[in-house]
A and B are shown apart, each in its own frame.
Chain A
Amino acid sequence: MKIPDGLRYTSSHEWLRRESDGTITVGITDHAQAQLGDLVFVELPAPGRKVAAGEACAVVESVKAASDVYAPVAGTIVARNDAVPAAPESVNEDAFAAWLYRLRPDDASAMDHLLDARGYQAVISD
């Protein structure tokens, strides 16, 4: 199971990457895609939408189950990856390449409190 260093993680299986422009890229982890199985439907939030930390803002559905994707920190959606709804299986192929959306955080330091790779490893080993 891939858990790259240098990313932040949530216990609800999102990954976060800080970009040079201060925005945060969000996706779901390799563990999450493996649990869900073949993805067949993805719905992403519209740019401009304001989200609270922990708010459900995207949906991923596999053949067997539907799952919400949460905003890990509060902020404003600035971009979404439209290639993913067009090819949901891309998340199964590489969950860390197939990012879902970018947001500009209200608080630039908010993601520092989230899990690092080691902390996330501990969460999924439980």
Chain B
Amino acid sequence: MTFRDGTYVARLTPLNAMHRAAGARMVDFGGWDMPLHYGSQIDEHHAVRRDAGMFDVSHMRVVEVEAGAPAAGQRAEPRAFLRYALANNVDKLTVPGKALYSCLLDDDGGVRDDLIVYFLREDHFRLVVNAATAEDDIAWLASLRDRVAPGLVIRPRPDLAMIAVQGPNARAKAWRAIPGSESATAALKPFSAADAGECFVARTGYTGEDGFEIVMPTSRAEATWNALAAAGVKPCGLGARDTLRLEAGMNLYGQDMDRVTTPLESGLAWTVDLASPRDFVGKAALDRAPATRDLAGLLLLDAGGVLRGHQRVHASRGAGEITSGTFSPTLSRSIALARLPSGVAPGEVVEVEVRDKRLRARVVKPPFVRNGQVKVDLA
């Protein structure tokens, strides 16, 4: 966020004027002025599950990690640095363009951020980090660099915009909208990226549907957004993005995990490699303190309200708390992620304090929805 003359000024993406002209309801998100919805957030949600929708995610920050000039006969290599800086292991990335999801941890194992890392070349990796944490991440990475990899270049890219196009028809519509993109990306596997002209196209997303996240120069953002809209891609706001990611069982940083929780308590043990001899920031702390709680999915069984963050949950092994809750447009039921004592198994029925009532909810294993298919038993 920015303060000028003592007044708070939200940051604007290159598409801000377009959102406002489209009548979007705008909200502050991590210091950025972002569209919440353009009318009905439920309609936007369904558009992504059934057809194609797009999100302005230019508030997220691309950060290049590049080899510097050799110093004293040694060259700082991005792979070695990221092998130490990230909780997931970049050695899983062997094919150029391949992406990996990882947490960025504190020394005490707390989650500073979650991010996507792309392997482009041995001398060039690319990170995409969250908006609200970007400045802290960059400062943290720079301080780590100074300690273990002097000479390595950590380069934020405020000159880049990003549009996520998601849904079963997203790729086909993106190919129609962006000339030349089909030949460059038709063979792209999930969680991989390739250059298509001025665009960097990744087959990734935050909705549980197929699609692309497209990085481009800010000067190209408006024309690309318009071309996608003309190809029948529906503009969607952060509201739909939140219900889509929660149905897909994906964590939101700052809500489902943060600096005072570890990935092992956040349903992210699969992203942390504790078995290999590799050392990384936070590893010793995670080794010392095994998790006693973890995230689970909840499906509301009773009528009487909507599951929301901070509601208290009573399970057989003790109490916990909802970290993200909402009404699921696909299921027409309320769903949540909740941090519960370890060992609470799918199938258990718990009680959630919703206002003055206790409502029953069933523990389920996320995702709730993936690729348009309901993945939990609603009976």
Contacts and interface: CB of A to CB of B under 8 A. Distances in A.
Contacts of A92: 40
Given A63-B239, A63-B327, A37 B305 contact: no
Contact of B355 (A38, A40, A59, A63): A59
Nearest to B306: A61
Given A63-B239, A64-B239, A38 B40 contact: yes
B36 interface: yes
A41 B306 contact: yes
Contact of A63 (B25, B41, B304): B41
B243 interface: yes
B243 A63 contact: yes
A38 B306 CA distance: 13
B42 interface: yes
Interface residues of B, number: 17
A37 B308 contact: no
A59 B305 contact: yes
Contacts of B36: 37, 64
Interface in B32-88: 36-37, 40-42
B326 interface: yes
Nearest to A41: B306
Interface in A31-79: 34, 37-38, 40-41, 43, 59, 61, 63-64, 66
Contacts of B304: 43
Nearest to B243: A63
Contacts of B326: 63-64
Nearest to B238: A64
Contacts, number: 40
Interface residues of A, number: 13
A77 B308 CA distance: 29
A66 B42 contact: no
Nearest to A68: B355
A66 B306 contact: yes
Contact of A37 (B37, B306, B334): B37
A112 B39 CA distance: 35
Contacts of B305: 41, 43, 59, 61, 66
| Most chain B beta-carbon neighbours within 10 Å: one of A61, A63, A92 | A63
Contacts of A40: 306, 327
Interface in A5-54: 34, 37-38, 40-41, 43
Interface string B293-305: 0000000000011
A92 B40 CA distance: 9
Interface string B8-43: 000000000000000001000000000011001110
Given A59-B355, A63-B239, A63-B243, A41 B37 contact: no
A37 B327 contact: no
A66 B41 contact: no
A63 B42 contact: yes
A99 B35 CA distance: 30
B41 A38 contact: yes
Interface of A: 34, 37-38, 40-41, 43, 59, 61, 63-64, 66, 89, 92
21 contacts: A34-B25, A37-B36, A37-B239, A38-B40, A38-B41, A38-B42, A40-B306, A41-B305, A41-B327, A41-B334, A43-B305, A59-B305, A59-B355, A63-B41, A63-B42, A63-B239, A63-B243, A63-B329, A64-B36, A64-B41, A64-B326
Given A37-B40, A61-B327, 7 more contacts: A37-B36, A37-B41, A37-B239, A41-B334, A59-B355, A64-B41, A64-B326
